[in-house]
Amino acid sequence: MGVVDYEALASDARLERMKRVGLLFGEITAATREFLAALAQSDRHRDWEGEGFSSCGEWLAWQIGITRNTAKEKVRAARALEHLPLISDAMARGQLSFSKVRALTRAATPENEAELLAFGRACSAAQLERMIRATRR
């Protein structure tokens, strides 16, 4: 009977847990993109008016229990993603977090989308936020 390398087993378990965290976050990100696409479609059809709300953001805040500012940011990003297929696809594949998408959609246009997406892939969310703020000044 061989010697059990408990240190190696613990390391393998640690790596598996870390891999699972990354995988699950990718799935959450992809689902968030689906949510934003559904939100943009509902907004485009002005579904919220039938519920007596004055804006999609106001309705969303009420519907899912978030602040109005957070809801307005989600609606803004959802609308922007409709015109940014590269960023949208990266998020749908779980490759770009909502934090990065939120920052990118503040400055991205169809003309500069590819360049900004490259920065988004290379930077942390905090670095990207700073860069976008600086470019908007």
Structure tokens at 121: 């892939």
Strands of the chain, DSSP E: none
What residue has token string 């989308």?
A: 113
* Backbone dihedral region for residue 46 (phi beyond 0: left; psi -120 to 50: alpha; all else: beta): left
- Sign of the torsion angle spanned by Cα atoms 96, 97, 101, 103: negative
Q: Output the pLDDT for position 99.
A: 96
Tens place of pLDDT per residue across the chain (137 aa): 677 787 877 788 889 999 999 999 999 999 999 999 999 999 999 999 999 999 999 999 999 999 999 999 999 999 999 999 999 999 999 999 999 999 999 999 999 999 999 999 999 999 999 999 998 77
